[in-house]
Amino acid sequence: MTLPDTASHQSGADRTFQVDLRGLVDLLSHHLYSSPRVYLRELMQNAVDALTARHALEPAAPAGSFGIRLYADRSVVRVEDDGVGLTEEDVHTFLATIGRSSKRADGIAEQRGDFIGQFGIGLLSCFLVADEIHVVSRSARTPGAPGVEWRGRGDGSYTVRALPASARPAPGTTVTLTPRADAGEWTAPARVQALAHHFGSLLRHPVTFDDGSGGPAVPVNPEQAPWARTYPTPGARSRALAAYGEEVFGFTPLDTVELNLPAVGLKGIACVLPEAVPAGRRHGHRVHVKGMLLSEQAEEILPDWAFFVRCVVDAESLRPTASRESLYEDDTLAAVRDALAEQLRAWIARAAASDPELLHRFLQAHHLSVKSLAVHDDEILRMLLPWLPFETTDGHCTLDEFSRTHRTVLVTSSVEEFRQVAAIASAAGLGVVNGGYTYDRELVHRLPEIRPEVSVADLDPATLTAHLDPVDRETELAAAAYLAQARDALAVFDCDVALRAFQPASAPALLVDSREARHERTRSRLAREQEGGLWGDILGALQQEAPRAQLILNQLNPLVRTAVAIDEPELARTSAEALYGQAALLSRRPLRPAESSLINRSFLDLLAHALRKDS
């Protein structure tokens, strides 16, 4: 800001802010606008608003009678419109006052909602690429008024003059920029044409571009939005929408969902991604307001769980932020988000009811997204829970398939627990579902709501061990000495040792241990180490009876039958440690340092024993 002149420095006198225009433009370029390219969007946006006002003034004018013409060569960029135009008074009031919008003026617009721009600073964006803005305009509202010329410069100065009667332009406005040398990236003819199509491909007014080569002007938006066109058959419409989605997003949609909210004048499509995306990654969506592209990254238009689609929409009543590059979060946007979510739910319901093949392909790619929705949506839960894939002891299958074989479904609390027990549980005929993945345990527990004949329970280690066959008394007594030495060797891990018979016989041992049990044993150990101190008292108050891990040796395994017959104490201890280490590795849980050390030591001891025996 510049200081006011000294004449105004009187005590108690009102003063007026003085604006440093160069500083303001720098602020816009670095903090409000994402790129200098927005200058063309702002010019086109102002032209569209002027056309909207012209149509309000002349409602009987045929559609397409007023339009926008763009011109760019190596020396100038020009935007002409047949809009409502400005009088000399309007120019002084609106173009020379920072922050005031012509769209607020009575008589220009009675409702600001009819216009895209509502902030009156769009013209300043032209100073991102040019040092001077030249505007020629004549008002359609005041036909007898002369044309007016306004020149604004980057240093904050401007001139205004009324044009002579001999130079009487048609109603409308022409804005001409002389680009700076460093702005060629954004003002070259090919770039201007590309930007015009990028921002204005869905505009409802005709827009043309002329590159100054002498050829005919090229339409920027030759066709209506694809959802606004008519097609000979529903299949042709579906293919056209899919082709548009592929053109915009660069992938062939698994399916397209038409979006329609008449209350806010919103229409568009949601393109279902053909492949899974990482959970939580939110794709940006293309949002147009009254045909003008507002944002390519509007995450806020859909709820978080809808990361299986990318959408392109055009709306009448959504409110842009000051930069006009994103949406303002208000009650209208929240209602639109909820309504679009309902339309996506309806698409899932239709696929479940009438297109099983599409539903299967969709769930293969996006089951995690659907699971996140089903947790909070009872309707989706009832429709899709039986068809969602889960990891089970019967392999990857749906709960519908799994519950036909297992009327009692057991679910683990972690991936680690499932991997510990999967092979043995499967051999024992138990139906276990891996509940360790996001949403899975909660969803499996809700299966009886859909299939009342099925019961679901958390897997308890006691449930599994109860299905392992006990060995006969004679075998138990013969192995007693070995089991005692094994318990002594593994006491440091709070691990008990038992002998059972179970399938598959290839599994020498099963380590039954849960994350909660390990945490409780860790608390107990810390409490003992901190006994007498404040921290020890706190841990002692939290302490429960610490459940022990259990190493269950398989009597059916030939290696175990050999091991329990070992009569050398050191070798017996080493073999027990090796069996524990192998079972811990099979559980696929992170190993503690002591366990890693035990595995290395037992391997080397067994190797040394084998070498001594051979020698």
Which tops the pLDDT comparison, 288 or 527?
Answer: 288
Considering only residues 306 and 244, tell me which one the structure prediction assigns the higher pLDDT.
Answer: 244
Give the rounded percent of residues in the chain with a pLDDT score beyond 90.
44
Contacts of 47 (CB under 8 A, 6+ apart): 68, 79, 80, 81, 83, 173
β pairing state of 77-81 and 68-72: antiparallel
What is the average per-residue pLDDT within 231-241?
95
Spatial strand order of the sheet with 432-433 comes to 395-398, 389-392, 432-433, 408-411, 455-458
pLDDT over threshold 70, residue 21 = no
Over residues 455-460, mean pLDDT? 89
Question: Which H or E run contains 497?
Answer: strand 495-501
Cβ contact 509:499 at 8 Å:
no
What's residue 524's pLDDT?
A: 57
pLDDT digits (tens, 9 = 90+) for 328-386: 888 999 999 999 999 998 998 899 888 989 998 998 888 888 888 888 888 888 888 88
* Digit-coded pLDDT (tens) for 530-546: 555 544 554 455 454 55
Whether the CA torsion 231, 237, 243, 247 is positive or negative: it is: positive
Q: What tokens were used for 97?
A: 């006052």
How far is the first Cα of the chain from the last one, in angstroms, to the nearest whole number? 93
Q: Is 101 exposed, middle or buried (0-12, 13-18, 19+ CB in 10 A)?
A: buried
**CA–CA dist 159, 153 (Å, integer):** 9
Q: At 115, is the pLDDT very low, low, confident or very high (cuts 50, 70, 90)?
A: very low
Contacts of 553 (CB under 8 A, 6+ apart): 486, 497, 498, 499, 500, 508, 509, 560, 563, 564, 579
The Cα angle at residue 356 between residues 351 and 362, in degrees rounded to 5: 65
Name the one residue in this structure whose structure tokens are 């806020």.
Answer: 300
157: DSSP letter: -
Closest CA to 552 of 432, 393, 431, 424: 424
Residues 38/44/45/48 CA torsion (nearest 10 deg): -170
Mean pLDDT of 226-250: 95
Residues 6+ apart with CB under 8 A from 46: 117, 122, 123, 173, 175
Write out the H or E segment, with its range, that includes residue 405.
Answer: helix 399-405
Cα separation, 539 vs 516, in Å, equals 15
Report the pLDDT value the prediction gives residue 8, as an integer from 0 to 100: 47
CB 301 within 8 A of CB 331: no
**pLDDT of amino acid 27:** 62
Backbone angles phi, psi at 599, to 5 degrees: -65, -45
For residues 221 and 48, is the Cβ–Cβ distance under 8 A?
no
Listed range (4-18, 252-266, 309-323, 558-572) with the worst mean pLDDT:
4-18
Whether the upstream peptide bond of residue 504 has omega within 30° of 0, thus cis, is: yes
**pLDDT, averaged across the chain:** 83
Model pLDDT for residues 255-297, shown as the tens digit of each residue: 999 999 999 999 999 999 999 876 556 678 999 999 999 888 8
- Give the three-class secondary structure for 301: helix
Instruction: Kindly give, in sequence order, each residue whose CB lies less than 8 Å from that of residue 526, ignoring residues fewer than 6 positions away.
Output: 535, 536, 539
- Give the containing element (helix H, strand E) for 500: strand 495-501
Backbone dihedral region of 291: left (phi > 0), alpha (psi from -120 to 50 degrees) or beta?
left
- Residue listed under structure tokens 């045929």: 62
In the predicted model, what is the mean pLDDT of residues 134-143? Answer: 92
* Closest to 201 measured CA to CA, from 35, 56, 41, 39: 41
Other CB atoms within a 10 A radius of the CB of residue 547 amount to: 16
Write the single-letter amino acid at 330.
D
pLDDT of residue 119: 35
DSSP 335-363: HHHHHHHHHHHHHHHHHHHH-HHHHHHHH
Q: Which pLDDT belongs to residue 328?
A: 81
Q: Identify the pLDDT of residue 504.
A: 86
pLDDT surpassing 70 at residue 323: no
C-beta neighbour count of 130 within 10 angstroms: 21
Instruction: For residue 467, list its beta bridge partners.
Output: none
The H-or-E segment that residue 539 falls in is helix 534-542
Tokens 């691990």, residue?
A: 495
> How far apart (Å, rounded) are the C-alpha atoms in residues 470 and 499?
7
Predicted pLDDT of residue 109:
39
The pLDDT tens digits of the residues spanning 73-91 come to 989 999 999 999 999 888 8
* Helices (H), ranges, 273-323: none
**The pLDDT of residue 40 is above 90:** yes
Neighbours of 58 (CB within 10 A): 13
| Residue type at position 584 | A
DSSP state of 44: H
- Contact predicate 28/128, CB 8 Å: yes
φ and ψ at 236, to 5 degrees? -65, -40
Q: Which residue has the higher pLDDT, 497 or 588?
A: 497
Instruction: Pick the closest to residue 270 from 231, 244, 289 (CA basis).
Output: 244
- Please report which helix (H) or strand (E) contains residue 21, including its range: helix 21-27
What's the chain's length in residues?
Answer: 615
Taking 90 as the threshold, does the pLDDT of residue 252 lie above it? yes
Q: Each residue of 397-451: pLDDT tens digit?
A: 998 899 999 999 999 988 888 887 888 888 888 899 999 888 999 999 999 998 9
Q: In this structure, are strands 455-458 and 408-411 parallel, antiparallel, or unpaired?
A: parallel
Contacts for 317 with CB less than 8 Å, ≥ 6 apart: 113, 263, 264, 265, 266, 332
